[in-house]
Chains A and B, each alone.
Chain A
Amino acid sequence: MLKIENLHATVDGKEILKGLELEVPAGEVHAVMGPNGSGKSTLAYVLAGRPGYAVTAGRISFQGQDLLALSPEERARAGVFLGFQYPVEIPGVNNVYLLKAAINAARKQRGEPEVDAFEFLTLVREKMRLMRMDESMLSRGVNEGFSGGEKKRNEILQMLVLEPRLAVLDETDSGLDIDALKIVAHGVNTLRAPERSLVLVTHYQRLLEHIVPDRVHVLVNGCIVRSGDRTLALELERRGYDWLISEAA
């Protein structure tokens, strides 16, 4: 599904990713963990194609195609979804419009007709129930006046509606209380499927209690320094990152 080779990326001229290697097969959930400043969010943004995140070397292949050759919107339509750490508020553009426009953009790419209005609303309502979101939120501006937890739930709602091939969730657990975390995790788990891959970028092991990963990778100073199964996350929880940082140095 996703194969990253020797990825180097800079932000404002500073190298953040320094030869990162990562492979996520279809159907698997991988967690990328690491201390602050290790490059986790940069990796997420590079995958989504954010301007200002320059790839200076390496390649990323997504479903066999060169991801780096695609613009951000082309990546989204091809099935890459980024769940933002800090979802943006866009007053004046309502949630339902965004959802519909996003669905139709992907359908158009696949040569499919626009989504039927009734079918669309049925789908959105069903997913909203799953995320325990109030329907009134649909007519509100995107994330406008949402609490931190509501914003994160809204990210997952968008993901559930768009059904991406690859979802990269950037610290989706940050700022969530335990109840919200469970709702978000439940939403993510419903999307687990053999044809879909998930990359969870997170600081803490807590999220991984609810979304059990197939693999855990530790990112330190722009490189994956260790990979393992879910027990690696437990070890990190116990020992912190320092031992890996000194090993990497």
Chain B
Amino acid sequence: MSPAMTEQIRKEYGAVHAALPASVIEPARRDEAIERLCAQGLPTTREENWRYTNLRVLEHARFAPLETQGQAVPPLPEAPPGFVRYVFVDGLLRSGAAASHPGLTVRSLRTPGPSSSATWCPCPDFPEARLALLNEAFATDALLIEAHANAAPAGIELVFAATAGAQAGASYPRVRVVLEAGAELTVLERHMGAPEAASLVNSTVRADVGENARLTHYRLQQCAPRTAWFDTLTAQLAAQARYHLLTVGTGALTARSTVHVRLAGAGAELALSAAALADHQQSHDMYALSEHVAPNTRTTETFRGIASGRARVAFNGKIAVRERAGGSDSRQSLRGLLDGPQAEIDLRPQLEIYTDEVRCSHGATAGKLDQNMLFYLLSRGIAPQTAQHLLKWAFLEDVVARIERTELRRQIERDLASQMSAAATLKELL
């Protein structure tokens, strides 16, 4: 990070910090975050795990948070059945059911409330999580979701809409999800925006999944075409916890997601499935670290990305198996589809194993549409464009078909089809 940017961040922080809500993050923690960030510097593409991210967008950004209330909310997609919706505009909670659901507490920390041990959570401390420090310093709101012990299954939908341009300031979505032992929760997180806004969004999500608890987490990055979206997700899984994380990214000009899941309890399981669809000048980059700390833990990682036009899709998936994580099992399947001579796919499967008696398998392939499949479809009378759409669709279905909520899956499938301009050709499937 250039000294000029450090100076700018400090200056902006100095100008706004007194007005930042202490109930969301205590002032001392904000100060500390700024100090750490300035000491470490913002990431640069010279660093291995950031080399595929478009970081230039940060050069002209205003980092201070937007304090907007009253911006027009873009039209929202229908809430899938079974989900209670919370809408955030430019980082601030706009609407959402205030009442608690049985066994579930959901509240914005902007409004001071009863203290909870769950509100405090250390900012992740690893080099890829530096942008979370920016969020910690500037966040104007935070949503706390607590599913209490043995709570009945519930669904929460979080919509984060960005409506303002980056020259006016950034938005900092911030979510903390805590599942106590045996709880079961589905969180649908949707990032979107006003079509014309070139927004800067920098979100952090922290999830703690208790013993035998089960968190299903769907993340849809459907930001407006000129948005720069950065995201840091960290999760910690207790014994026998199950975390199903499924992300589908189609929007934004540049999107970077950093994920770190720590399988801390014996028998914990992570299923990470991610799909990315990028066209034109879009850049989608995901870094996912799955860290096996406890024995008999399990990771299944699936990535499918399609790059068209001059787009770049990158997935850097690292699985680390620590000394005490004997009996662990991890499987990685990363595949990229190049749709055009100027598109770029960068896949990087990594394994770091510090113990014996583990099972790890990984595979990564990037290529064009399979010509044998294409000809097979043509030979059955299917039009070439339909055949191509169909094969791209099928490629992403490896991930999308894992969405257990039918209505939600259909909604996502329709979005993907329209993103591929294939809504007409694939109508039979939608």
Give 19 A-B pairs besides A49-B378, A101-B382 with Cβ atoms closer than 8 angstroms: A72-B378, A72-B379, A73-B384, A76-B379, A90-B373, A90-B376, A90-B377, A91-B397, A91-B398, A92-B394, A92-B395, A92-B397, A92-B398, A93-B391, A93-B393, A101-B381, A101-B428, A109-B381, A162-B381
Determine whether the beta carbon of A158 is less than 8 Å from that of B373: no
Q: Least Cβ distance of A201 to chain B in Å?
A: 15
Q: Least Cβ distance of A152 to chain B in Å?
A: 14
List which B313-372 residues lie within 8 A (CB) of chain A: 370-372
| Alpha-carbon distance A194/B277, docked complex (angstroms) | 50
| Interface check B386, CB cutoff 8 A | yes
| Interface check B60, CB cutoff 8 A | no
| Interface check A218, CB cutoff 8 A | no
State how many residues of chain B have any CB contact under 8 Å with chain A.
Answer: 27
Of the candidates B382, B390, B391, B428, which one forms a contact with A73 in the assembled complex, judged by CB atoms under 8 Å apart?
Answer: B382
Which 3 A-B residue pairs are closest in the complex by CB-CB distance? Answer: A92-B394, A105-B381, A76-B381
In the complex, the chain A residue whose C-beta lies closest to that of B380 is A102
Contacts of B376 in A (CB 8 A): 84, 87-88, 90, 142
| Alpha-carbon distance A155/B377, docked complex (angstroms) | 12
| Interface check A40, CB cutoff 8 A | no
| Interface check B83, CB cutoff 8 A | no
Q: A50-B375, A51-B371, A76-B379 are in contact. Are A141 and B384 (CB under 8 A)?
A: no
Contacts of A203 in B (CB 8 A): none
| Alpha-carbon distance A87/B373, docked complex (angstroms) | 9
| Alpha-carbon distance A182/B71, docked complex (angstroms) | 71
| Interface check B72, CB cutoff 8 A | no
Q: Least Cβ distance of B376 to chain A in Å?
A: 4
Of the candidates A50, A92, A98, A100, which one forms a contact with B377 in the assembled complex, judged by CB atoms under 8 Å apart?
Answer: A98
Determine whether the beta carbon of B380 is less than 8 Å from that of A88: no
Determine whether the beta carbon of B379 is less than 8 Å from that of A101: no
User: A residues within 8 Å of B by Cβ?
Assistant: 48-51, 71-73, 75-77, 81-82, 84, 87-88, 90-93, 97-98, 100-102, 105-106, 109, 141-142, 158, 162
| Alpha-carbon distance A97/B429, docked complex (angstroms) | 8
Enumerate 11 A-B pairs (CB-CB under 8 Å) in ascending A order. A71-B384, A73-B382, A76-B380, A88-B372, A88-B376, A90-B376, A91-B394, A91-B397, A98-B380, A102-B381, A162-B381
| Alpha-carbon distance A100/B386, docked complex (angstroms) | 13
| Interface check B16, CB cutoff 8 A | no
| Interface check B58, CB cutoff 8 A | no
Of the candidates B386, B394, B396, B428, which one forms a contact with A90 in the assembled complex, judged by CB atoms under 8 Å apart?
Answer: B394
Of the candidates A48, A49, A105, which one forms a contact with B382 in the assembled complex, judged by CB atoms under 8 Å apart?
Answer: A105
Determine whether the beta carbon of A102 is less than 8 Å from that of B398: no
User: B residues within 8 Å of A by Cβ?
Assistant: 370-373, 375-384, 386-387, 390-391, 393-398, 401, 428-429
Contacts of A101 in B (CB 8 A): 380-382, 386, 428
Contacts of A49 in B (CB 8 A): 378-379
Question: Which of A75, A100, A101 gathers the greatest number of chain B CB atoms within 10 Å?
Answer: A101
| Alpha-carbon distance A191/B338, docked complex (angstroms) | 41
Contacts of B428 in A (CB 8 A): 97, 100-101
Q: Least Cβ distance of A99 to chain B in Å?
A: 8
In the complex, the chain A residue whose C-beta lies closest to that of B395 is A92
Q: Least Cβ distance of B365 to chain A in Å?
A: 14
| Alpha-carbon distance A141/B390, docked complex (angstroms) | 12
| Alpha-carbon distance A160/B282, docked complex (angstroms) | 45
Contacts of A88 in B (CB 8 A): 370, 372-373, 376
Contacts of A102 in B (CB 8 A): 380-382
Contacts of A90 in B (CB 8 A): 373, 376-377, 391, 394
Determine whether the beta carbon of B380 is less than 8 Å from that of A158: yes
Q: A77-B381, A102-B380, A106-B381 are in contact. Are A72 and B398 (CB under 8 A)?
A: no
| Alpha-carbon distance A71/B398, docked complex (angstroms) | 30
| Alpha-carbon distance A90/B398, docked complex (angstroms) | 12
Contacts of A75 in B (CB 8 A): 379
Of the candidates A82, A91, A93, A100, which one forms a contact with B379 in the assembled complex, judged by CB atoms under 8 Å apart?
Answer: A82
Q: A101-B382, A101-B428, A105-B383 are in contact. Are A72 and B375 (CB under 8 A)?
A: yes
Q: Least Cβ distance of A101 to chain B in Å?
A: 6
In the complex, the chain A residue whose C-beta lies closest to that of B400 is A92
Q: Least Cβ distance of B374 to chain A in Å?
A: 9
Q: Least Cβ distance of A245 to chain B in Å?
A: 31
In the complex, the chain B residue whose C-beta lies closest to that of A105 is B381
Contacts of B373 in A (CB 8 A): 88, 90
Of the candidates B370, B377, B378, B397, which one forms a contact with A71 in the assembled complex, judged by CB atoms under 8 Å apart?
Answer: B378
Contacts of B378 in A (CB 8 A): 49, 71-73, 76
Contacts of B391 in A (CB 8 A): 90, 93
| Alpha-carbon distance A105/B379, docked complex (angstroms) | 11
| Alpha-carbon distance A105/B375, docked complex (angstroms) | 15
Q: Least Cβ distance of B271 to chain A in Å?
A: 18
Determine whether the beta carbon of A93 is less than 8 Å from that of B390: yes
Q: Least Cβ distance of A145 to chain B in Å?
A: 14
Q: Least Cβ distance of B418 to chain A in Å?
A: 18
| Alpha-carbon distance A158/B377, docked complex (angstroms) | 12
Contacts of B377 in A (CB 8 A): 90, 93, 98
| Alpha-carbon distance A17/B382, docked complex (angstroms) | 28
Q: Least Cβ distance of A144 to chain B in Å?
A: 10
In the complex, the chain A residue whose C-beta lies closest to that of B304 is A92
| Alpha-carbon distance A200/B372, docked complex (angstroms) | 21
